[in-house]
């Protein structure tokens, strides 16, 4: 069962979407203090050639993910660079497996990955937002080779959150 519920996610989406720029800056500063490696994985994107608008999209995903963590009422550990790397390698392996499978086996592998993901609501949000972002840049013929880094980072946020051990806020 997901530790971040649909209600937690919905509240986080509402809060982040209604935030002023100043409020988003304050939340980003909080992320810098509480989850510095997740923020760094967002900010490093510009060094990988990612356009500023794409970094802004990724930052929005991070804001919602982090706010969702807060809404859960659980105590989350700092997600380390090592954990981010470990989760990235696991996800790359899953993607490569599904790409090498044939037809319905590939579809089945992707479906199994999603259906067994520990944070399904958050995964669904990130996949939906990323797909919408990709459609929008495709319609503008603005695709870039670096878009894959944004997709990978957004998925890694979810996978790192899913893999993090948590404890009760009052426990």
Say yes or no to pLDDT of 51 above 70: yes
Task: Give the residue with greater pLDDT, 43 vs 143.
Answer: 43
CA 31 to chain centre: 14
Which secondary structure element, helix H or strand E, spans residue 123, and what is its range? helix 120-139
Say yes or no to pLDDT of 104 above 80: no
Instruction: Summarize the confidence of residues 14-19 as an average pLDDT.
Output: 98
Instruction: Summarize the confidence of residues 22-45 as an average pLDDT.
Output: 97
CA distance 143 to 94: 24
Phi, psi of 81 (to 5 degrees): -60, -40
| End-to-end CA, the chain | 20
For 109-157, how does the pLDDT look when each residue is reduced to its tens digit (9 = 90+)? 667 666 788 899 999 999 999 999 988 888 888 888 888 899 999 999 9
CA distance 156 to 154: 5
pLDDT at site 36: 97
pLDDT at site 141: 85
Place of tokens 């695709």: 143
User: How sure is the predictor about 107, in pLDDT bands with cuts at 50, 70 and 90?
Assistant: low
| Percentage, residues of the chain above pLDDT 70 | 86
SS3 99: helix
CA distance 149 to 6: 27
């Amino acid at each position: 069962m997901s530790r971040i519920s649909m209600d937690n996610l919905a509240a986080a989406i509402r809060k982040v979407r209604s935030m002023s720029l100043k409020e988003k800056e304050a939340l980003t500063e909080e992320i810098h203090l509480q989850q510095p490696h997740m923020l760094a994985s967002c900010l490093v994107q510009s060094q990988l050639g990612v356009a500023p608008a794409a970094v802004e999209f990724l930052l929005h995903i991070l804001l919602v993910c982090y706010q969702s963590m807060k809404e859960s009422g659980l105590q989350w550990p700092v997600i380390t660079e090592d954990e981010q790397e470990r989760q990235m390698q696991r996800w790359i392996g899953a993607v490569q497996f599904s790409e090498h499978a044939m037809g319905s086996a590939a579809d089945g592998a992707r479906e199994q990955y999603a259906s067994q993901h520990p944070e399904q609501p958050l995964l669904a949000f990130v996949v939906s937002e990323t797909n919408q972002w990709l459609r929008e840049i495709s319609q503008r013929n603005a695709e870039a080779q670096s878009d894959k880094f944004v997709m990978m980072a957004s998925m890694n946020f979810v996978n790192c959150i899913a893999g993090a051990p948590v404890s009760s806020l009052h426990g």
